[in-house]
Structure 1
Amino acid sequence: MHDPHSERMSGSETRAAGGLALVFAFRMLGMFMVLPVLATYGMDLAGATPVLIGLAIGAYGLTQAVLQIPFGILSDRIGRLPVIYVGLLIFAAGAALAANADSIWGVIAGRVLQGAGAISAAVMALLSDLTREQHRTKAMAMIGMSIGLSFAVAMVVGPLLTRAYGLSGLFWVTAGMALLGIFIVLLMVPRASRVLRHRESGVARQALLPTLTHADLLRLDLGIFVLHAILMASFIALPLALVEQGGLPKEEHWWVYLTALLVGFFGMLPFIIYGEKKRRMKHVLLGAVAVLLACELYFWAFGATLHALVLGTVVFFTAFNLLEASLPSLISKVAPAGGKGTAMGVYSTSQFLGAALGGILGGWLYQHYSLSGVFLGCAALALLWLGFAVTMREPPYVTSLRLPLSVAALQEAGLAERLQAVPGVADAVVVVDEAAIYIKVDTQQLDRMSLERLIEPAPVTC
């Protein structure tokens, strides 16, 4: 038994967060490692065309987009672990199918099957089951960092593994990592004593319609859709440009991505700190989208030498990393109280759909209009996003809280309305079947004493 109010994560919480972060990292590593190599090595496969290479790059996004919300809902009914185990087995089977393929169609089928192992929502829900309220944001941040790190590692390790073992070997490594994920869940992740219905980490049907009709959330969904469409299309054009225009052998591309991602990671940090501290995240977002647009035009106009391509790639990944890190934070700020999990579910679906479209569109543009067509197409997408993002309001600078309620507090009429009158409380909603209230607060303005007087906390059991 541990102190329910402890400021430190317990051993079981640390194991849960660390283990599930590793599962996420291995899975995403397997998904991302093919991006920098498929456009160059994939052309050796039977039947390969640029359009089909693009489809292979983005194919996983189609099944991810369709299945991730249903898998999350299924995990509420049959349990988190069965969904996670089956999802990882499906992912491993997809990787094995792609590894055994001797044609581009086999790789496409493998990537589609990989995407069908859509366990993101189930993993996040299990994390909520295994962590206390005050540590949940910290645990979810660990998973977020693992995804970012896996992307960076994949850009470097993917080309190195493919150089050593070929595309087939790369997919076998991916299958092995998925199976390793199963053993991590079995041996490292504690068993949950309860299934928690939690609107901050799962999709709530009641919140789906408000999410789909919320103008600023839709602008952010469009943003992640376009960002990943540009990323996938760029991973058709950039590897080919490095070979065709930069004269860099495909076996040596890893150092370009390593340089770009390292500089990009440290380059984005001052902008995020500035945006959050000065409460100007809209301006930071608009600036990053404008830089993304400028990068695509730069590739089109000046990307004829290796130095120019490396410089453009470094700036591109600085803007990409900044947008990838700030968009989920903006979703959390903009989503209504109790709607964050649903908003993130729709956001993730938009991200995967963007990846699918970007791969297909990038391949089609390259096949018909060469590299210039891909770069101009990506520039057009960035311009579309910029046009919608300009009309977005500055987001509220609020933090989401979920507070358990006693039986007496649940029976009070108008509790949410009285809470919204407390200085610093932006939104509040009572969810009776969870015996909890979700509130969004501006910590700089919050009157904590007034808040605590209104809410009689439920007794905590452990």
Structure 2
Amino acid sequence: MLDKRSEAMNGVERRAAFGLALVFAFRMLGMFMVLPVLATYGQELADATPALIGLAIGAYGLTQAVLQIPLGTLSDRIGRRPIIIGGLLVFALGAAIAANAHSIWGVIAGRIVQGGGAISAAIMALLSDQTREQHRTKAMATIGMSIGVSFAVAMVAGPLLTRAYGLAGLFWATCGLALVGLLIVLFLVPHQASPFAHRESNLARQALGATLRNRDLLRLDFGILALHAVLMASFVVLPLALADHAGLPKEEHWWVYLTALVVGFFAMVPFIIYGEKKRRMKRVLVGAISVLVLCELYFFFFSNSLVALVIGIVVFFTAFNLLEASLPSLVSKVAPAGGKGTAMGIYSTSQFLGSALGGILGGWLFQHGGLSTVFLGCAALCLGWAVVAGTMREPPYVTSLRLPVTPVLVNDQGLVGRLLALAGVTDAVVVAEEQAVYIKIDTKIVDRAQLERLVSQTPVAA
């Protein structure tokens, strides 16, 4: 029987989950606050062009994508905290560079430096180090929620802060948030003696080949790239459509985004419940992508009406929130046993690449073809994504587990076979160096207690 005390997170786990969620939220808040304001306020900067404003919006994604996996791997060697502390200082430096900029080039430089503080992988790894396996999903969900909340707050706080203090004030606020995050790491997040590398949170070279050959995972990687590319490209032009075409002063854009995000959050929940309970997530995924296609075409035809734009933005964020919440869950389902950390590392890199490409291409398309060209370009990208997603198989509705095994069982050649023979187990792999087995299970068929009994049994001699 499982120890009842293990069912609740202990004090160290709660501090780790809460503290690291705050660090993640403050950092992402600083990234996201720029989105709703740079297209409008950035025009006041010297040398500003639509293409360069788009580059400034997406520039952080370039360095973030390049450094995400290397810094996560480095944290396995030198520790999580040095990487996180150094990354927050680099992020704050980038914000200070942008705050002191008088031209668009200075803002671009600052955003590139900000992206150099690529600490997402190290934060997730530190959270894994400091939480037991049975609580790790809850802790990861806490960070996931913090990202969603930070995005919502940023859409409102960005316009309000910029209205009061200008772009420089916005970047100084971003710098301050990074330094607050640094204090949280130093004084709130528990100290961990040494990194604990495992395949749920870290990239494993042994799993890299299988992950890159998995076509459904590649489809999901393309999906998150397309989603964030469309988001960034849309934010190159939506603020301008609201201000210049629909006549809404840029100081009042905050209420549009607040309405869209609140309504969009609650509107997506029934679809998530339907997809998971009925096991129809592929249908939900393709449906949400199709809604994005229609939204971009809608913007193309009705960008001159404020009421029409607000309705379109609300529907857009409903689909966006649904996809943003669904895609990581699908990656976790599709990834092979022992490959979740590797799959999520590639997925995150794809996300940041999408942000960079979306900002750059959105600005270029706007400069050469105007608002309509950007909307059509986004619609075409979403249409291509819908085709790619339509060829995907229905994902397996499974959960990943990591269970410790004794040194004797690590060398038991029949363990994996016995696990796979158990109803509801779809995949299993023993990792000798961790003295653990990674298992994918359908929780409707098999329960954890059965698995724990099986992996704790002494193998029978032949």
Matched, 1:178 2:143: no
The alpha-carbon deviation at position 4 of structure 1 amounts to: 9.1
Please give the secondary structure, in 2, of the residue aligned with 1:202. coil
Q: Which amino acid aligns with 1:336?
A: P
- Deviations 1:232-288, CA, capped at 9 Å, x for gaps: 000011000001111000000000000000000000000000000000000000000
**What does 1:10-159 correspond to in 2, within 5 Å?**
10-159=10-159
2-structure distance, mates of 1:4, 1:78: 35
8 Å contact kept, 2:75–2:195: no
The alpha-carbon deviation at position 418 of structure 1 amounts to: 1.9
Corresponding residue of 2:236: 236
**What does 1:300-315 correspond to in 2, within 5 Å?**
300-315=300-315
Q: Which amino acid aligns with 2:379?
A: A
Q: Which amino acid aligns with 1:345?
A: G
Corresponding residue of 1:422: 422
8 Å contact kept, 2:286–2:386: yes
1-structure distance, mates of 2:293, 2:69: 31
Please give the secondary structure, in 2, of the residue aligned with 1:402. strand
2-structure distance, mates of 1:323, 1:199: 25
**What does 1:337-356 correspond to in 2, within 5 Å?**
337-356=337-356
2-structure distance, mates of 1:163, 1:453: 61
Of residues 189-198 and 220-229 in structure 1, the stretch that sits farther from structure 2 once superposed is 189-198
The alpha-carbon deviation at position 451 of structure 1 amounts to: 3.0
Please, what TM-score do these two structures have when normalized by structure 1?
0.97
Q: Which amino acid aligns with 2:303?
A: G
Q: Which amino acid aligns with 2:417?
A: E
1-structure distance, mates of 2:128, 2:415: 25
Corresponding residue of 2:396: 396
The alpha-carbon deviation at position 208 of structure 1 amounts to: 1.1
2-structure distance, mates of 1:454, 1:411: 15
- Deviations 1:49-86, CA, capped at 9 Å, x for gaps: 00000000000000000001000000000011100000
8 Å contact kept, 2:79–2:194: no
Corresponding residue of 2:359: 359
Corresponding residue of 1:382: 382
The alpha-carbon deviation at position 453 of structure 1 amounts to: 4.1
Please, what is the CA RMSD of the aligned residues? 1.2
Please give the secondary structure, in 1, of the residue aligned with 2:313. helix
1-structure distance, mates of 2:452, 2:231: 46
Q: Percent identity?
A: 73
8 Å contact kept, 2:95–2:175: yes
Corresponding residue of 1:295: 295
The alpha-carbon deviation at position 449 of structure 1 amounts to: 6.4
2-structure distance, mates of 1:311, 1:270: 19
The alpha-carbon deviation at position 6 of structure 1 amounts to: 1.5
Matched, 1:167 2:172: no
Corresponding residue of 2:221: 221
2-structure distance, mates of 1:211, 1:138: 25
Please give the secondary structure, in 2, of the residue aligned with 1:6. helix
Corresponding residue of 1:438: 438
The alpha-carbon deviation at position 407 of structure 1 amounts to: 1.4
**What does 1:439-458 correspond to in 2, within 5 Å?**
439-446=439-446, 451-456=451-456
Q: Which amino acid aligns with 1:118?
A: A
Corresponding residue of 2:273: 273
8 Å contact kept, 1:96–1:171: yes
The alpha-carbon deviation at position 303 of structure 1 amounts to: 2.1
- Deviations 1:180-207, CA, capped at 9 Å, x for gaps: 1110011101111342111111111111
2-structure distance, mates of 1:157, 1:339: 38
Q: Which runs of 5+ in 2 are unaligned?
A: none
8 Å contact kept, 1:69–1:345: yes
- Deviations 1:13-68, CA, capped at 9 Å, x for gaps: 10110000000000000000000000000011000000000000000000000001
Corresponding residue of 1:370: 370
- Deviations 1:77-106, CA, capped at 9 Å, x for gaps: 001110000000000000000000000000
8 Å contact kept, 2:337–2:438: yes
Moved over 4 A (4+): 447-450
